[in-house]
Amino acid sequence: MSKKNKPEKHDDFGGFRAGFSVLVGRPNAGKSTLTNALVGKKVAITSAKPQTTRHTIRGIVHRQDAQLILVDTPGLHRPRTLLGKRLNDLVADTLAEVDAIGFCLPANEKIGPGDKFIAAQLAAAGRKPVIAIVTKADTVDRQALTEQLLAVAALGREVLGEEGWKDIVPVSATDGFQVDTVADVLISHMPPSPPLYPDGELTDEPEAVMVAELIREAALEGVRDELPHSLAVVVEEIVPREDRPEDSPLLDVRVNLYVERPSQKAIIIGKGGSRLREVGTNARKGIEALLGTRIYLDLHVKVAKDWQRDPKQLVKLGF
Ligand SMILES: Nc1nc2c(ncn2[C@@H]2O[C@H](COP(=O)(O)OP(=O)(O)OP(=O)(O)O)[C@@H](O)[C@H]2O)c(=O)[nH]1
Ligand SMILES: [Mg+2]
């Protein structure tokens, strides 16, 4: 590179900003739904069950003058299993690598010990800007929202001192209220930088992981108690079916669903296989949209005894 073309030491990249923001919060706070709303496409699965997200997911927001890479994380909580501890460690590692932190607190739940536990960890994480995001604003009336914003501000002063959070933004991911504002605020904390991802790329999730997640999302629908936590999904292979006409390809997608006990296997499969068929039908639509091809989905349910507490099995299942 000739000297002339070398970037200046204080190059501001023509005003372009790019960087990483992590979204943290209790399980079920609405992090993944907000990630999808900001990206404008579903990159993370969501559900009414806590602990839906189990690995960090990057979603990318493209603007004319900025690129915001969102890192959606598993909900933080006091861990009860080895899996829970691994997920918390994952979030802690992520905090160290980002430019700003979005702390999600739902508008419709009182601030509790769980939120204070996270707030204390954020305060300990150093001088990263923390933006409090009050999610699910559509679920409460104006007065309740105002009260929650005040309570969140007070929590910020409690853990960070007089200055508190860098910003507090109420948002509704489901009706779009203030979604752009959340992006604006996070982007304002990104450093000058050239774009970090190719234009138009919305996530760096591998396809096989997205496929497994769509199946887990479908399987979470309608199950109760411990089962959501006990479920893990692994895509074994995605292969093109041979002897198909060129204009009508078909992919064979072979997938294992792992549960922790035989009784759970029976629930997932359902009477005469009815539940598993339903899961397949519901997941297939999303997977075909993702891959842009028709698929044949081959689902198998297996028991991996107490995998959430077993270091060896955790590794096998990708944790
Ligand atoms: N009404 C309303 N519901 C929301 C909103 N955002 C999320 N939800 C619901 O809240 C539940 C949890 O949402 P998720 O996005 O999966 O929450 P999460 O924080 O990613 O949860 P974990 O991955 O388990 O930590 C789901 O049932 C969502 O539909 C919102 O803006 N308004
Ligand atoms: Mg999530």
Measured CA to CA, the distance from residue 300 to residue 246 in angstroms comes to 29
Q: How far is the CA of 206 from the centre of ligand 1 (A)?
A: 23
Tell me what pLDDT residue 260 has: 96
Measured CA to CA, the distance from residue 70 to residue 202 in angstroms comes to 10
Name the CA radius of gyration of the chain, rounded.
21
Tell me what pLDDT residue 319 has: 87
Tell me what pLDDT residue 12 has: 84
Tell me what pLDDT residue 1 has: 43
Give the pLDDT mean for 51-66. 94
Rounded to the nearest integer, the mean pLDDT of the chain is 93
Ligand 1 atom closest to 23 (CA)? 19
Q: Is residue 180 marked as binding?
A: no
Tell me what pLDDT residue 301 has: 97
Contact in structure between 244 and 250 (CB atoms under 8 Å): yes
Give the pLDDT mean for 304-308. 94
**Of the given ranges (20-34, 45-59, 117-131, 245-259), which has the lowest mean pLDDT?**
117-131
pLDDT at residue 81 is higher than 90: no
Q: Is 54 in the pocket of ligand 1 (CB under 6 A)?
A: no
pLDDT at residue 199 is higher than 70: yes
Using CA positions, which residue lies closest to atom 10 of ligand 1? Answer: 30
Measured CA to CA, the distance from residue 90 to residue 100 in angstroms comes to 17
Tell me what pLDDT residue 125 has: 77
Tell me what pLDDT residue 293 has: 94
- Please report the domains of the chain, with CATH numbers, ordered by start residue: 3-188 (3.40.50.300), 207-316 (3.30.300.20)
Q: Is 172 in the pocket of ligand 1 (CB under 6 A)?
A: yes
Tell me what pLDDT residue 218 has: 96
Measured CA to CA, the distance from residue 266 to residue 270 in angstroms comes to 6
Sheet containing 100-106: order of strands:
57-63, 66-72, 17-25, 100-106, 130-135, 167-170
Q: Is 28 in the pocket of ligand 1 (CB under 6 A)?
A: yes
pLDDT band of 5, cuts 50, 70, 90: low
- Show the DSSP H helices in 112-220 as ranges: 113-124, 142-160, 179-188, 207-220
More confident residue, 174 or 9: 174
Give the pLDDT mean for 87-112. 93
Counting residues of the chain whose pLDDT is more than 70, the rounded percentage is 97
pLDDT at residue 227 is higher than 60: yes
Q: Is residue 31 marked as binding?
A: yes
Residue 191, helix vs strand vs coil: coil
Q: For residue 63, give the H/E element and its range.
A: strand 57-63
Give the pLDDT mean for 28-34. 97
Q: How far is the CA of 47 from the centre of ligand 2 (A)?
A: 8
Taking the CB of residue 86, how many other CB atoms lie within 10 A of it?
Answer: 17
Measured CA to CA, the distance from residue 136 to residue 32 in angstroms comes to 12
pLDDT band of 2, cuts 50, 70, 90: very low
